[in-house]
Amino acid sequence: MKDARNQSLTGIISLVVGVFIFSIQDAILKAMSGDHAVTLAIVLRSIVGLPILLAMVAYANGLGALRTRNWKLLIARGLILITSYTSYYMAFPALPLAEAVALFFTSPIFVTLLASIMLREKVTPQAWAAVIAGFIGVIIILRPGSGLFEPAALLSLFSAASYAFSMVLARKYGADEPTTVMAFYVNAVYLVVAAMIAALFGAVGVTAFGHPSLDFLVRPWAMPDATDLFLMGVCGVIAAVAMSLLTHAYRLANANLVTVFEYTGMLWVPLWGFLLFSEVPRMTTVIGTVIIIAAGFFAVRNAR
C-alpha cells in the first residue's frame, strides 16, 4: 500500500512539473506563430530533443531498449500526439492563449470518458454528471451562434480528445516500455511527420489559406533569426523533458488520479498571456474555465 501511494505521489509530481514546463513552450510558440511555420518549430525542437532523449535512453535502459516489439504501438501513439499538438498549436494565432489552453484542458474530462471504456475504470453517476457540466463550460467559452465564435477553438477541443487518447494508451500499454523509450519514439515521429507535412505543402505550392491557424500550418519555412532559433531549441529541451515527465506520470498512477493535476497549467497560462501578449481573458472564458476545472476535478475525484 505504501509503495502504491509513493508511486501515485511520484506520478502527480511528474505531471505537475511537466505541465509547468509545457506552459513555457506554449508561450514561445504563440510568440512565433505569426512569423514561422508550426512544422519548422516542431522539426527544430525535435532535432534538439533527439540527442537528449538518446542520452536518456542510454543512461536509463541502454540503446538496445529502442529495439522493442511494441514499436508499432509506439509509432501509432506518436502519430496521435503529433496530430494533437499540431492542432493545439494551430489554435494559438487565432485565439487568446488563455482561451486556447482552457479548451485544451477538457482533456481530463476526455481521459475520464476513455478510461472508463479502455481501462475499465469505474466512474460514478456523479462523475458522469460532472462530465456534462464540463462540456457546458466549453459551450460558454465557444459562444456558438454568436459573432464572437472562432472556429479555431475546435482545434483545441480536437487536440484535447486526441491527447487524452494517447495518455490512456500510455496507461494501458506503457507498463511494458520504459518512459524514455516512449518519449524517444514520440519525438522521432514528430520529426519525420512534421518534415513530411512541410515538404507536401511545399511540393503542391500551398503557402496560405487566409486564416491565421491554417497559415501557421502551411507557411513556407524561413531561416529564423538568432533569437527565434534559440527559442525553438529551448522548445526541444522542453519537449524532451516534459513529455518524459507526463508519460511517466500516466504510467505510474491511475489515470483518474493524476489527470486532475493537468489543471495546474491554468495557473501559468493567464500569467504568460498577460505578461507577454497583454491579453486579458473574456468574462465568458473565465466562467467557462472555472466550470471546466470544477467539473473535471469532480469527475476524476469521484472515479474509482
Q: Where are the domains of the chain?
A: 2-301
- Three-class SS of residue 206? coil
Instruction: Supply the pLDDT for residue 217.
Output: 92
What is the rounded CA–CA span in Å between residue 31 and residue 293? 26
- Three-class SS of residue 119? coil
With left for phi above 0 and alpha for psi between -120 and 50, is residue 251 left, alpha or beta? alpha
- Three-class SS of residue 275? helix
Instruction: Supply the pLDDT for residue 268.
Output: 86
Q: Taking each helix axis as running N to C, give the angle between helix 125-142 and helix 153-173, from 0 to 180 degrees, rounded to the nearest 10.
A: 150
Alpha helices in the chain (DSSP H): 2-32, 38-60, 71-91, 97-104, 107-118, 125-142, 153-173, 179-204, 212-218, 226-252, 255-258, 269-277, 283-301
Instruction: Supply the pLDDT for residue 112.
Output: 77
Instruction: Supply the pLDDT for residue 295.
Output: 76
Do residues 199 and 86 touch, judged by C-beta distance below 8 A? no
What is the rounded CA–CA span in Å between residue 5 and residue 12? 11
Instruction: Supply the pLDDT for residue 267.
Output: 80
Instruction: Supply the pLDDT for residue 128.
Output: 75
Instruction: Supply the pLDDT for residue 137.
Output: 83
Q: Which residue ranges of the chain lie beneath pLDDT 70? A: 1-4, 123, 144-149, 173-176, 255-256, 296, 299-304
